[in-house]
Structure 1
Amino acid sequence: MQATRYIIVILTLVLCQLSVNAQSVKKKYTISNKRVIEQYEKALSSFDRYDYITAKKLLVECVQKEPKFIEAYLVLSQVYMGMGELNLAIESILKAQSIDKDFHPRAYYILGLLYFSTGEYQKALNSFETFLTYKDKRATMNDSARKMIEKCQFALNQIANPVPFVPKNIGEGVNSDLDEYWPSLSVDERTLVYTVRLPKNPDKGIKGTKWQEDLYISYRNEDGQWGRGEPVKSPLNTEFNEGAQAVSSDGKTIYFTICRGVCNLYQSVLEPDGFWSLPQKLPAAINSERYSEKQPSISPDGKTLYFVSNRPGGLGKFDIWKSELKPDGTWGNPVNLGDVINTNESEQSPFIHFDNKTLYFSSSGHMGMGGHDIFVSRLDSNGAWTKPVNLGYPINTHRDEDGLIVNARGNIAYYSTDIKPENGRDIFTFELYPEVRPTPTSYVLGTVRNSKTLEPVEASIKLVDLKLDRVVMDIVSALKGEFLVCLPVSNRYGLFVSASGYLFHSEHFDLTEYYSFDKPLKLDVLLQPIEKDEVITLRNIFFAFDSYELLPESRPELNYLLDILKRNPEMRIEISGHTDDTGSAEYNLKLSEQRAKAVADYLISQGIDSARLKWVGYGKSKPVAPNSTPEGRTLNRRTEVKIL
């Protein structure tokens, strides 16, 4: 655990003074037995060589022969720390203090760290407060003790106000007597990729190691049960360590970590034959030579890669960074997420949710329960990260919690834990309480084809927040024209599909009131070549009720039309307005013409020559659906563009 490693460092700095002080003038100790003192000093030499077994044996014999040998108890506590035996380390300090509570005041500070690392927060608080009564000469230790008191109070408050948390093992299809961890989930929740620690051939891979990590995959059946996990197909798994992976929303690209000394990030694409392509190391812009990059998380549009690194320029031991995909398909230089997210300690396991704005991660630097705690932060309307929120107890404990992911609909979290040590690390799920959930997200599955030839088209697909006029997803369809776009709910979105030489296609999704994850939308987009007499419907042009005033949400679509006109200076178009059959024919005809003219006026205001534009109103004379239903009337209220 991170907390354990931290305490080892502190003990080394503080308790090592015992050997210095004890061997000072005339080597005065709390005992006078020369043979035991000689044995004690041999133990110190073994400890300096990190030979904890020998040091422990000698020190235990010392205190058996001299039960009031305070120095031996204190150094023995350090030995136990080195061996990871925290409870025995506590017991040794308590024995020393029972002999003389004032002998080594800094032992109270160490005892506080030990209690904190084992989750005994009230005892830790008492120990730190006792330490401060001695007025230690080192201001840094006093400041550290005060900060630890604050952490103890935070932890006690969290325990007094627990959050809902009922973890459930996801089943023996995935979990075994081996260690399973780092889950990654497809947007449809049917595919789970995870890391497994396996015994290795000692003659292969990293010499001197007994274990290796491989990638496994499991599929959920119709009954909701996870099938038997199998190793991911060649060539991803090797005799080295592969793991800490992230899978793209459509499940066709995997980013993962390979460690051979330092850790670096790799990418592989799922081929049509069902096999993964040969892993490609991500470029030098992302992977450094002397430092580690690991634990990737890819945004749902595939345009931003989050990862952790200890590279120079960070704020702590490991920080979270991001790299953005440039228009030419290369990754940009990494950018540190800044001091709202990163601390002077360690941040780990970033996970950007399918809503593309909610980030979960682990940190040992933010206020927490000890070790690594899981936090959540969100991008605000200005694109800045909000202050991280601790997910609370008992999700977070004194142990290390990390590797959390959340499903697309935002209600179920997945993570790994060794909460039952006899089973090793297993993957669990639990229902995430509402306050820390992301925006629920559905998705659109689609294909893009040429409307004339029906051949697939490689196209740009953008999901735009119409209210903010901001692109929230930006992807490119596959060579076969296939695409998947995540749809966060509680907003109005425009979906724009465009390709060079074609008119754009638009869709409108109003998800402020309606949401269905179980029935994702399937679209077959037929892009129309830019030819005379072709007509497109502008589905994201909105007017005030019973008015021809354009609403701000119309701006993204208007700008798409503007862009086509600028890129094709010879193009002339007709803008036509249409209504449903509510109201008189005369009224609808006038309103439709006014609405068409409003669109033309916007284009003219942006520099388009009025001679290239014609506007006309058809009223209710050209319906495309029956006016007998609300849905039909909505389709009939439309704006169209025809190439003249």
Structure 2
Amino acid sequence: MNYYNKIFLIIALVFSASIAYSQSKKDSIEQVLDSIYPKTIVAEISSDEFTEYAPSISANGRIMIFESNQNGLWNLYLTRFEDGKWIDEVPIDSVNMAADSNDVISGPNFSYDGNRIYFHASFDGGYGAEDIYFSERVGDNWTEPENMGPEINSSSFDGFPTISTDGKTLYFTRNSKNIPEGINEFCYEIYASQKTDSGWSEPEVLPYPVNLGCEKAPKIMADNRTLIFASLREGGIGGFDLYQTRLNEDGDWVKPVPLEYVNTTDDDLFSSISASGDLMYFSKRNDIYSVEIPQEFRQFQNVTLQGVIRDADSKEGLSASIRITDANTSEIITSFDNNPSDGFYSIVLSAGRAYNLEVRKEDYSSALYYYDLRDIESYQEYEQNIDLFTTAHLNVNIYDIELYDPLKSTITVKNTSGRTVDIVESDGQNWKTRVDLPIGNAYTVEVESENFKSKSFSIDLTGLILYRVYEEDIELIPEKIGVPINVNDLLSGGSVSSSTLIIRNKTRNEEIVISGNQTINLRVGDRYMVEASSDRGYAFNSTEIEISDQGKLQTIDESTGEIKEDSKGVELKLQPLAKDANLTLKDIYFESNKSDLFESSFEELDRVIKLMKSYPTMKIEIAAHTDDIGAAAYNVRLSKQRANSVISYITSNGIEEDRLISQGYGESKPVVPNDSEENRAKNRRVELKILDIQLAQND
């Protein structure tokens, strides 16, 4: 049943009753309205012996404040809605105790986020008879009252405050200057003041048709466009009745309409509606009542957005600046700070628009959310907890630009003034190294790794910081020097043009294959095994080299075994493959006084295997030699066993046994006198002798 059908029914019922007196008519109208719009006393709050008055409900509908004289004084009380009823009624002592026995505290109204209470009181030290004050929530407690100041309060009465959800407009009442004739009530007019960057504007009285001279207890609804107030005016049922007006698109207040669903012959005052817009609480007959709001009287559809802003690490509540803008026009809808004690915030947004929610706090990150409410058709609540952080996590991924291996590095962080704020070491095992950077500064980050070219980058953590984790890939370029490598014929000394070089980096996982007789750039600080070979009738040869941290080439003299600290290049001599040619195998090691090969010997033996596979007609003798330590017979036997161990490894890798012969010569064929430990080491050797080979014509 729409509004006009209901009014027609009411009028018809009244006339059909043939009531003779005006008051009887009003009583009958009230009875009819009560039958259509039943009103329910809030039994958990209301009592027979005391007055409960001026309810105000938070936007989420879960907290109510009201005034009562239950202790003989007009005090404020708070109650919570849980499991379908109002419970835990408690006095707001910090406010109540500011009054003496003659003071009045009245007209409380919540801010829509539930973090502030506005009310009027006659405390000493005010600007007028009664001033408007506010108290802020600190956890479960409330601060001592604070006067709104002379921008709002005058030398007369200022009271019944109510504030818009965006915090921009404060509505309140002052003593009326235009009391209608014949009215003996306390009459007021409704004023509004706008919040500016410099404070509150000069209050202005709302124009006709809102103010007619005897208004009271305004309440701005969650949509910031609907105003409900009590008024004594022609056409009312009796006493103060509740009326509703709205701002139209031109910014003008439309003609107020009586709220027939709530008005009675008593004084009906102090409407309070949660953001859902479906239930009204109000005062009449010294008690608090509730009534369901008919659809045609409901506000524009709203959405309540609430949650806690907190520190991302400690999870403690934070105070931050919140700004709501129109997502399409960037118009600022509202800006405010949330509750500093626990970080709670609550925002009421009107449906039909898209919004951006921005949260900022100095030295913290920011937050930005988008809400599209253009198609919302019913009241909704969104829970949005917001975590802000003081440090960003910078993940620096440091790796070798050529090999993609992680690098052990030093990460130095400096601020804009050049002061070092942190030094972090990467372990060289993982690519990712985390650096924590305080929000609110810009930084230069320098990455250094030994024997690599350093690299730096900047990161700016000022302004709107939305993300906590940042990634930066750092590819470091190795320092290198050019190393000439020549491959020559052992006998003629001439260059072997067909040679191939395999250069294995023993410091890191790197292998380079090139043709011989050229200059190759090698890494500073690394050790290499250089192997030369040729498929044109040559054996292989190998040597180890190292590039010092100072960029100097270190080589081993093949004839003396001495390390040359500042070589100008590498020369490898290849033995031509011919019958009776000898090749000393390098790095063949056995356990002490045993014939078991060390694994480090396999690399050189694998070269032998590769050579024999390349020349399938080649037969060889593996000869093992010892120094002169120990009995000669023992040394012969030991060297024979070691030669057999070498042959066993070779044959186990695909070479036929009939192509190999083992010999153990003991100490009988030294290459140098056994007169020093260095010489004895040279005599402990394994040699390869070619017994037979048939080379192809192009070899």
> Which whole-Å CA distance do the structure 1 matches of 2:145 and 2:247 have between them?
32
Match of 1:307 in 2: 172
Letter of the 2:75 counterpart = D
Cα distance, 1:312 vs. partner?
A: 6.2
Match of 1:324 in 2: 194
Cα distance, 1:282 vs. partner?
A: 1.9
Letter of the 1:168 counterpart = T
Aligned ranges 1:99-498 → 2 under 5 Å: 123-124=21-22, 164-198=36-70, 200=72, 212-221=73-82, 223-237=83-97, 238=99, 239=101, 240-259=103-122, 262-272=129-139, 274-289=140-155, 291-310=156-175, 317-328=187-198, 330-343=199-212, 345-365=213-233, 367-392=235-260, 395-418=262-285, 425-448=286-309, 458-466=319-327, 470-479=331-340, 482-498=344-360
Match of 1:50 in 2: none
Cα distance, 1:437 vs. partner?
A: 0.9
Is the CA contact 2:114–2:346 (under 8 Å) kept in the aligned structure 1? no
Letter of the 1:428 counterpart = Y
Is the CA contact 1:173–1:228 (under 8 Å) kept in the aligned structure 2? no
> Which whole-Å CA distance do the structure 1 matches of 2:383 and 2:52 have between them?
34
Is the CA contact 1:448–1:527 (under 8 Å) kept in the aligned structure 2? no
**Which blocks of at least 5 consecutive residues in structure 2 are unaligned?**
1-16, 182-186, 396-459, 464-699
> Which whole-Å CA distance do the structure 2 matches of 1:474 and 1:500 have between them?
16
> Which whole-Å CA distance do the structure 2 matches of 1:415 and 1:320 have between them?
19
Higher strand fraction: Structure 1 or Structure 2?
Answer: 2
Letter of the 1:416 counterpart = S
Letter of the 2:21 counterpart = K
Cα distance, 1:214 vs. partner?
A: 1.1
Cα distance, 1:450 vs. partner?
A: 7.8
> Which whole-Å CA distance do the structure 1 matches of 2:51 and 2:318 have between them?
44
Listed one character per residue, the Cα deviations across residues 506-557 of structure 1 (whole Å, up to 9, x for unaligned) are: 3222234446767522131548999999xxxxxxxxxxxxxxxxxxxxxxxx
Letter of the 1:340 counterpart = P
Larger radius of gyration: 2
Listed one character per residue, the Cα deviations across residues 601-642 of structure 1 (whole Å, up to 9, x for unaligned) are: xxxxxxxxxxxxxxxxxxxxxxxxxxxxxxxxxxxxxxxxxx
Cα distance, 1:455 vs. partner?
A: 8.8
Letter of the 2:40 counterpart = K
> Which whole-Å CA distance do the structure 1 matches of 2:333 and 2:178 have between them?
28
Is the CA contact 1:494–1:507 (under 8 Å) kept in the aligned structure 2? yes
> Which whole-Å CA distance do the structure 1 matches of 2:225 and 2:89 have between them?
31
Aligned ranges 1:496-511 → 2 under 5 Å: 496-498=358-360, 505-511=367-373
Listed one character per residue, the Cα deviations across residues 127-156 of structure 1 (whole Å, up to 9, x for unaligned) are: xxxxxxxxxxxxxxxxxxxxxxxxx9x999
SS in 2 for 1:404: strand
Taking a change above 3 Å as real, the CA distance of residues 450 and 191 of structure 1, as seen in their structure-2 partners, is closer
**Which blocks of at least 5 consecutive residues in structure 1 are unaligned?**
1-118, 127-151, 201-211, 419-424, 534-569, 574-644
Is the CA contact 1:196–1:215 (under 8 Å) kept in the aligned structure 2? yes
> Which whole-Å CA distance do the structure 2 matches of 1:449 and 1:228 have between them?
27
Is the CA contact 2:305–2:381 (under 8 Å) kept in the aligned structure 1? no
Higher helix fraction: Structure 1 or Structure 2?
Answer: 1
SS in 2 for 1:325: strand
Is the CA contact 1:197–1:214 (under 8 Å) kept in the aligned structure 2? yes
Letter of the 2:157 counterpart = S
Letter of the 2:230 counterpart = S
Taking a change above 3 Å as real, the CA distance of residues 254 and 522 of structure 1, as seen in their structure-2 partners, is same
Is the CA contact 1:292–1:310 (under 8 Å) kept in the aligned structure 2? yes
Count of aligned pairs between the two proteins: 371
Is the CA contact 1:505–1:527 (under 8 Å) kept in the aligned structure 2? no
> Which whole-Å CA distance do the structure 2 matches of 1:401 and 1:318 have between them?
15
Cα distance, 1:409 vs. partner?
A: 0.3
Cα distance, 1:502 vs. partner?
A: 7.9
SS in 2 for 1:520: strand
Cα distance, 1:311 vs. partner?
A: 6.5
Higher relative contact order (CA 8 A, sep 6+): 1
Letter of the 1:123 counterpart = Y
